[in-house]
Amino acid sequence: MNKNEKPSLLKGKGAAVGIVICFVAVIALVGAYTFNNYKKDMNEQMAKAEEQAEQLAEDKAEDDTEETTTDDIILPEADAGEDAAEEETEAAEQNTDEADSGAPIEQATAGTDTSGIWFTEESTLTWPASGAVIMGYSMDQTVFFQTLEQYKYNPAMIISGEVGETINASAAGIVTNIEETAQTGTTVTLDMGNGYSAVYGQLTDVGLSIGDYVNGGETLGTLNDPTKYYSVEGPNLYFQVLKDGEPVDPMNFME
């Protein structure tokens, strides 16, 4: 009996081992299949991520290109006629501002002919106003200005007069400047030739224009009320003589 039972046991054990081996094989196959699917899914996800990254990079490049193109856009220039109109308007406003601030009302144009006038250091000047000299030319030492209550150099000769009296040219000349200043009011400058000029300030009713030729003794305008710089001194003519733009003593030329 015992001899017969032993082979049966061995046979039973062999079957069990076979079943275990089959079970392990099945598990191994399932594991291999699962791993292969997992690896495939991971590869697909990585490929998809790379595609998304490439798409984002392309979109950013397109955005940068659009910004560069926008920055490079040049707006069309304004019409030449509009520019000219704007420049004329600005020039007119500037001239108005200059007139209000005491800048020249008129200035001599280039090429003014001065060949017909001639003044030298030997020439003489007639008195342009009727009154006495109340403040002489003084560039070597200061003189006292009553209205300003201070000592200053005086580059002109201050001649008293009466409001409304006629002011005549002391010598022939060509009008090179008509200006309005706070200190001397309406002021006319005559080019007398050879670098000499005569300046007449504190005027009104000036009927001259730039470029006009004025004979000696001809009317320039009338004497105006004094500006605030000469209110104490009273009505007066501001009379200045220039040589090459520098003030000289008018008394050296007076009759």
- Give tens-digit pLDDT for 111-167: 455 556 999 999 999 999 999 999 999 999 999 999 999 999 999 999 999 999 999
Pick the range with the lowest mean pLDDT from 74-88, 161-175, 237-251: 74-88
Higher pLDDT pick, 64 / 237:
237
User: CA angle 196-201-204, nearest 5°?
Assistant: 130
CA distance 250 to 123: 11
Determine the residue type at 96. T
The count of other CB atoms within 10 Å of the CB of residue 197 is 20
Q: Is the pTM for the entire model greater than 0.75?
A: no
The Cα-based distances of 229 to 61, 144, 186, 212 in angstroms read 73, 13, 14, 29
pLDDT score recorded for residue 197: 98
Q: What band does 214 get if pLDDT is binned at 50, 70 and 90?
A: very high
Residue 226 confidence (pLDDT) above 90: yes
Output 78 or 186, whichever has higher pLDDT. 186
Residue whose C-alpha is closest to residue 224's, from 172, 188, 175, 177: 188
Q: Is there a contact between 209 and 106 (Cβ–Cβ < 8 Å)?
A: yes
Task: Name the DSSP class of 79.
Answer: P
| pLDDT at residue 192, rounded to an integer | 98
Cα–Cα distance, 115 to 81 (Å, whole number): 40
Average pLDDT over residues 12-24: 68
For residue range 33-53, what is the model confidence (pLDDT) as tens digits? Answer: 666 665 666 667 666 766 766
**Dist. CA 239–CA 158, nearest whole Å:** 6
Q: What pLDDT sits at residue 143?
A: 97
* Separation CA 192–CA 173 (nearest Å): 4
Using the predicted structure, report yes or no on whether residue 206 has a pLDDT greater than 60: yes
| Model pLDDT for residues 56-114, shown as the tens digit of each residue | 667 666 665 555 444 444 444 444 445 544 555 454 445 444 444 444 444 444 445 55
